[in-house]
Amino acid sequence: MSENRMVAIDGTDALAFVIVRPGETEGGVSIEAAARGLSKQDAAAVLRHVADLWDAEDSE
């Protein structure tokens, strides 16, 4: 699939994070997510906004 790499992220001021990794099955993904200082509903709204921006880029 893809090569393994070490990634370091300074998330000391992050309100939320989402990490998407290749899953154990073909085409699957593993997701790690958390929100602190931001409600899960607000974090979901931000993610929906990002998804809408990415969808708009794909249609250009």
Q: What is the pLDDT of residues 1-60, one digit of tens each?
A: 567 778 787 878 888 888 899 999 999 999 999 888 899 899 999 999 999 999 999 787
- CA 19 to chain centroid: 5
Number of domains in the chain: 1
pLDDT of residue 31: 94
- Residue 4 placed within a domain: no
pLDDT of the residue at 12? 84
pTM assigned to the model: 0.67
Where do the H-state alpha helices sit in the chain? 40-58
**Within a domain: 45:** yes
Residue 49 lies in a domain: yes
Q: How far apart are CA 32 and CA 44, in angstroms?
A: 14
- Find the domain containing 22 and state its range: 16-58
- Identify the helix (H) or strand (E) that includes residue 34: strand 29-35
Q: What pLDDT does 54 receive?
A: 93
